[in-house]
Amino acid sequence: MVKKSHIFAYDITNLKGDILGGFTTAIVALPLALALGVASGAGAKAGLYSAIITGILSTLFGGTPAQVNGPTGAMTVVLIELYEKFGLEALFASMFVAGLIQIAIGTLKLGRYIHLIPQPVIIGFTNGIGCLIFIKMIPYFKTNPLLAAITICIMLFFPLVTRKIPASLIALIIGTMAGIYFLPSGALVGEIPQGLPQFAFPKFPLEQFYEIIRAGFILAMLGCIESLLASLVVDELTRTKHNSNRELIGQGIGNTVASLFGALIGTGAIVRSVVNVNAGGRTRLSGILHGIILLVITLKFGPLASRIPLAVLGGILMGTAIKMIEYNATREITYASKRAGTVVIATTLLTIFTDLTVAVALGTLLSMFFFVLRMGDVYLKKYDIDCTGLSKKIASYTIEGPLFFGVAHAIVSKLEIEGEDADIIVLNLMNMPAIDSSGAISLKNVKEILRSNNTELIFAGLRENSTDLLVKMNVISEADVALSSLRIGEVLDHVRTLAQAS
């Protein structure tokens, strides 16, 4: 037994589970790696060595021990477009840039901010990616529609029979046999070059530099999001906690090396990671073994892959795309909140018709906008005050939460409208942990408006961390600080005394 914190540490007590997990995930990864490599335009070998290189290096240096890494559908969507626009060299150059960006994000400890993307946005772009993969595979479907349809059916319905054997593997075997003996197709994977990949630094025209940097950023961000989502899933299954920054550094190392050896970049793969954990994998050994087993299969049985019909690989990815779409989550979110459902639908459409970066950015902004609207409604709470025997009508409100630029206007507008019938309004700030300059200006404006309507605004529960800002912004005077800092009950007693005296 050795310390688990060391990068090469290993707990031998889980050896059986890790071996079984590594073997099982290698079988699951094989058809997907082939299909994604061919779909990207870089070739089947690029997909296979992506699973091998990132499967070993990203696991070894990453921050989620039980996670399995390799090429995924989301990344391949972007890679297809890059290949079609700029060619193979620019494709590898963009992947190299993406790896470096991921290393930088992890080194600067920015990994925790990736989790700030709202869940409806994540569901939306996952749905959009599923749609895009399906659309991109239509040309492969057309090479042999019947064979592709059979493959899709196996992908969708074989799991109803058993989940112990990967549906993608069964679809690959049955589809290939059907293509060879019953439904011959001239569109095949073709010859896969033998031997290990060769080191080659990508060369590209200088005029493509900007597009390569832009594409590298998109790939890096998408890879970060998908990898950390997979890490969260693994955390839930294993009752552990991953290291986000180390995970991104590991992803960056694996992807940088993969791009220099003619392989696709990868991410944490949710399905393969779940398969690994369910099979017993708990440490880095399972992911590393998955890569080693794929290497042996590639070197020994690579020539057999040359006879796989493209319609079968297209069918596998089409089936994967259909299963990627989060039907239940979309329905539940839309039923629970129309605003959240709008974010899901908008992000899905933006992913399909623009690009992933725009989709995530605008989807996040839309979520923030809806959040601000909702906060404007719930942040201001009114409490009834018994004004029996008093000469003036008193109203009391409490601000629940920070008063920042996004909600300040909505809150003070509501306060202005509802406070028209009161002579004195007591505004409790005890539950306002922070306020920015926009919030302070809004309070100052509403105070002046109420005063012009002969309504006095008095503060209560003012926190020390907000006092200086409100004084400097002339919201309250130095003389009012003592009263404004009292608890709401004490301020109300003071106000009642004023109302009685008058």
Task: Give residue 406's pLDDT.
Answer: 63
- Cα–Cα distance, 386 to 492 (Å, whole number): 11
With a CB cutoff of 8 Å and minimum separation 6, the contacts of 15 are: 285
Least confident window among 64-78, 324-338, 352-366, 482-496: 352-366
Task: Give residue 279's pLDDT.
Answer: 87
- Cα–Cα distance, 54 to 223 (Å, whole number): 12
Calculate what percentage of the chain has a pLDDT beyond 90.
44
Alpha helices in 189-337 (DSSP H): 209-238, 244-260, 270-279, 284-301, 310-324, 327-336
Q: How confident is the model at residue 6 (pLDDT cuts 50, 70, 90)?
A: low
**Measured CA distances, 5 to 63, 67, 112, 280 (Å):** 10, 16, 20, 20
Query: And the tokens for 326?
Result: 């989060």
Report yes or no: 220 and 105 within 8 Å, Cβ to Cβ.
yes
Which of 491, 487, 468, 489 lies closest to 478, judged by CA?
A: 468
For residue 151, pLDDT over 90 is answered with: yes
Task: Give residue 502's pLDDT.
Answer: 55
Which of 95-104, 223-232, 377-386, 420-429 is modeled with the greatest confidence? Answer: 95-104
Which of 5-14, 188-197, 467-476 is modeled with the greatest confidence? Answer: 467-476
Q: Using CB atoms within 10 Å of the CB of residue 389, give its burial: 0 to 12 exposed, 13 to 18 middle, 19+ buried.
A: exposed
Specify the higher pLDDT residue, 265 or 302: 265
- Provide mean pLDDT across the span 356-374: 80
For residue 70, pLDDT over 70 is answered with: yes
Specify the higher pLDDT residue, 281 or 378: 281
| Per-position DSSP letters for 159-175, written without gaps between them | HHH-SSS-HHHHHHHHH
pTM above 0.85, yes or no: no
- Cα–Cα distance, 294 to 288 (Å, whole number): 10
With a CB cutoff of 8 Å and minimum separation 6, the contacts of 276 are: 21, 22, 24, 25, 66, 67, 68, 286, 287, 290
- Kindly report the number of other CB atoms within 10 A of residue 399's CB atom: 24
For residue 100, pLDDT over 60 is answered with: yes
**What structural domains does the chain harbor?**
15-369 (no CATH), 380-501 (3.30.750.24)
For residue 238, pLDDT over 70 is answered with: yes
Task: Give residue 286's pLDDT.
Answer: 94
Query: And the tokens for 498?
Result: 């004023």
For residue 28, pLDDT over 90 is answered with: no
For residue 154, pLDDT over 90 is answered with: yes
Pairing of strands 380-383, 394-399: antiparallel
Task: Give residue 359's pLDDT.
Answer: 86
Task: Give residue 3's pLDDT.
Answer: 43
Instruction: For residue 105, give the H/E element and its range.
Output: helix 88-107
Q: What's the angle, vertex CA 335, arms to CA 330 and CA 338, rounded to 5?
A: 90
pLDDT tens-digit map of 164-191: 888 888 999 999 999 989 988 778 887 7
Q: Using CB atoms within 10 Å of the CB of residue 401, give its burial: 0 to 12 exposed, 13 to 18 middle, 19+ buried.
A: middle
Give residue 484's Cα distance to chain centre.
43
pLDDT tens-digit map of 249-271: 999 999 999 999 999 999 999 88
For residue 142, pLDDT over 90 is answered with: yes
Query: And the tokens for 20?
Result: 């079984």
With a CB cutoff of 8 Å and minimum separation 6, the contacts of 278 are: 237
Task: Give residue 300's pLDDT.
Answer: 85
- Cα–Cα distance, 150 to 155 (Å, whole number): 9
DSSP code for 261? T
Q: What share of the chain is helix, strand, coil (3-state, %, to 5)?
A: 70, 5, 25
Task: Give residue 197's pLDDT.
Answer: 86
Query: And the tokens for 467?
Result: 């006092």
Q: How confident is the model at residue 409 (pLDDT cuts 50, 70, 90)?
A: low
pLDDT tens-digit map of 199-237: 989 888 888 899 899 999 989 998 998 899 889 889 988
- Cα–Cα distance, 316 to 185 (Å, whole number): 16
Task: Give residue 1's pLDDT.
Answer: 39
Least confident window among 57-71, 191-205, 237-251, 266-280: 191-205
Q: How confident is the model at residue 410 (pLDDT cuts 50, 70, 90)?
A: low
Task: Give residue 2's pLDDT.
Answer: 41
